[in-house]
Amino acid sequence: MTFKKVLIAIDGEPVAMRAAETGELIAAARLDAQRLVTAIHQRLSPRSSVVEFMPVGRPSEEIVKAAEAWSADLLVIGSHGRWGMQRALLGSMAEAVMRHAPCPRVVVRSQE
């Protein structure tokens, strides 16, 4: 099987949560995301075609929406591999994406 449209959900360092207005946090998150996307672009083959999605919202829902809207052939997502109380409190974004994604998916565990 050939995958022509691969959606890669990337996540950098979380934006520091501080006493700031929502608009400031969103702007900081967009700037961090753009830096991460630029770094990814530099690693890709010159023949690669890239479409960027940087929606604001609940990550698992936005990733699934992007996969549907873009008609992705494959979705690749990272997982922090949290267990126990951390997982109960923070949930599993990757797990939610796995349950609802409209295409084949691959989970890559973080090297943390």
Render pLDDT for 73-108 as a digit per residue (tens, 0 to 9): 999 988 766 666 655 544 578 888 889 999 999 988
75 in Cβ contact with 107 (< 8 Å): no
Instruction: Please tell me whether residues 17 and 65 are part of one structural domain.
Output: no
d(CA 46, CA 80): 30
Can you say whether the dihedral through the CA atoms of 12, 60, 108, 112 is positive or negative? positive
Q: Is residue 4 part of a domain?
A: no
Higher confidence at residue 18 or residue 55? 55
Residue 53: per-residue pLDDT? 79
**Mean pLDDT in the chain?**
79
Q: How many domains does the chain have?
A: 2
Q: Is residue 100 part of a domain?
A: yes
Q: Is residue 3 part of a domain?
A: no
Residue 90: per-residue pLDDT? 46
pTM listed for this prediction: 0.73
Q: Specify the DSSP element, H or E, that contains 34.
A: helix 22-43
Please state the rounded mean pLDDT for residues 22-46: 81
What's the domain range around 37? 9-51
Instruction: Please tell me whether residues 60 and 24 are part of one structural domain.
Output: no
